[in-house]
Structure 1
Amino acid sequence: MRELLEAVADGSLSPTAAEAELRGYVTEEAGRFDATRDRRRGIPEGIFAEGKSASQVIALAETALETTGRALLTRVSDSQFNALEAHLDETVPEATIDRRSTTVRVTTSSSDSPSLDATVGIATGGTVDGPVADEAELVCVDAGATVDRVDDIGVAALSRTLDQLDRFREADVLIVVAGREGALPTVIAGLVDTPVIGVPVSSGYGHAGNGEAALAGMLQSCTVLSVVNIDAGFVAGAQATLIARAIDTARD
């Protein structure tokens, strides 16, 4: 503790970073940020931007960067992103911003660049599934896993799926994202010996077209797979990352 206090006194450590070391989290007006989740859980805290003001998103991103060197944000609107980007350009010009649909990853020179000896395969049924897959992918990228992604291979033309089987079988874990009736994860899981994580997407027509049919179909799969909640790309990416970490450790 004395070393932390001395570091704060000489200016080499900010009070926010010191609080993160001492308590594990930092309390701000915008909320509490769990700065040690990555060390404790293997997955960093994601900043859920939906329902927050742009200033709250910026404040939490700043705290994440100050305490961990990187920030991972989900469900970021265009206006929130524009405000965040403008703020970072002014305050942290060296920051690298990776935006994919509504998910944003920000890194600085002080952040570690992890690398896992494991490959996460990601497949989508159609273009509409892209933003959810982007969320899962960026979580895996943040953890240092290799990502092999293939899009738009829905079962309406099964040959598109069968053409990719070799790639799926080479992956260490698969995330399969699909809306409508959610058949794609079930089909793929029946053809590979790789762990499959199914992600139902809120797309489709009419009755149960908000992802409920896809969720029910995956839960009732007669082939073995895991299923996360509707549109829960972050959760799927986090689960795949934990599997990838275990595989990386075993290979070491």
Structure 2
Amino acid sequence: MREESEEEADGSRTRETLEALAAGEIGVAEAESRIAGYATTDAGRFDAAREDRRGIPEAVLAEGKRPAETGALATTALETTGRALVTRATPDHAAAVREAVGDAAPEADVDHDEVTRTVVVHAAGFEPPELAATAAVVTAGTADAPVAGEAAVVAREIGADVDRIEDVGVANLDRLLDQVARIREADVVVVAAGREGALPTVVAGLVDAPVIAIPVSTGYGEGGEGAAALAGALQSCTALTTVNVDAGFVAGAQAGLIARAIDGGT
């Protein structure tokens, strides 16, 4: 029996999508996302295929966008993927997302975290992925919580089991040593620290899991605003990976991808 070619399979999927659109089973945005991989809105094009292609859910960066634009993109994300992940959201952005989603999908669950500045929306019945891998997200101090929290949200949305370990900075090593056994249980570790950024280097010398450092833009004077923390992480004498200053999304995505790889190997 002749196997269907890739071109024929694409044609079959396109026809099925058009038939579903004609029958009113899906909307225009979802139809476009199935055929083109993205959905077009007045606020921009949403990459609905990113998770299938890259393993990372597409996020809507609210920073630089008007609240209404953020709400429209979040609604498109919900329609095409079953969820929306919004980062760097102000309370106005979050309110716009809640209003737009409430009109389009009143049964959807909307979770706004003011500390992490994230908004996560799940459609009714959406089942987030679950991976057999744990990501520890560690902070040096309270000021690091917003960036670390963004990383935790992203890793959790990819499917990792996230363990938050707070306020274990090197100003008092006893705080860290009390938690080392717990950190060592993780499959991947994200460490957020500002000022001189020493914590990721110290943690990386104590665990056998991959460590991802997030320099945080705290501190002042010479080397402030994350400059010293970034330089320290890049010059670390222990093996670790470093993302840009305040790049919680990138660190969380990397941790999630590592968790996926570990889950796939179990």
Partner of 1:128 in structure 2? 143
Partner of 2:247 in structure 1? 232
Displacement of 1:224 in angstroms is 0.4
CA-to-partner distance for each residue in 1:11-68, whole Å, 9 max, x for gaps?
A: 0011110100000011211011100000000001111000100111011001100000
Displacement of 1:90 in angstroms is 3.6
- Any conservation in 1 of the 2:135–2:187 contact (CA below 8 Å)? yes
The amino acid that maps onto 2:178 is D
- Any conservation in 1 of the 2:72–2:97 contact (CA below 8 Å)? no
The amino acid that maps onto 1:153 is V
Partner of 1:46 in structure 2? 59
- Any conservation in 1 of the 2:204–2:240 contact (CA below 8 Å)? yes
- SS of residue paired to 2:74: helix
Q: Would you identify which runs of 4 or more consecutive aligned residues in structure 1 move more than 3 Å?
A: none
1:43-192 to 2 correspondence within 5 Å? Answer: 43-100=56-113, 101=115, 102-192=117-207
Partner of 2:6 in structure 1? none
- Any conservation in 2 of the 1:68–1:111 contact (CA below 8 Å)? no
Partner of 1:2 in structure 2? 15
CA-to-partner distance for each residue in 1:112-139, whole Å, 9 max, x for gaps?
A: 3211000000100000101101100111
Partner of 1:197 in structure 2? 212
- Any conservation in 1 of the 2:189–2:209 contact (CA below 8 Å)? yes
Unpaired runs of 5+ in structure 1?
Answer: none
Identical aligned residues as a percent = 57
What is the aligned length? 251
**Normalised TM-score (structure 2):** 0.92
Match 2:38 to one of 22, 25, 36 = 25
- SS of residue paired to 1:155: coil
**Normalised TM-score (structure 1):** 0.97
The amino acid that maps onto 1:6 is E
CA-to-partner distance for each residue in 1:70-89, whole Å, 9 max, x for gaps?
A: 01111001111122223333
Deviates more, 1:103-112 or 1:171-180: 103-112
Bigger radius of gyration: 2
Unpaired runs of 5+ in structure 2?
Answer: 1-13
| C-alpha RMSD of the superposition | 1.0
Partner of 2:232 in structure 1? 217
- SS of residue paired to 1:94: coil
- SS of residue paired to 1:106: strand
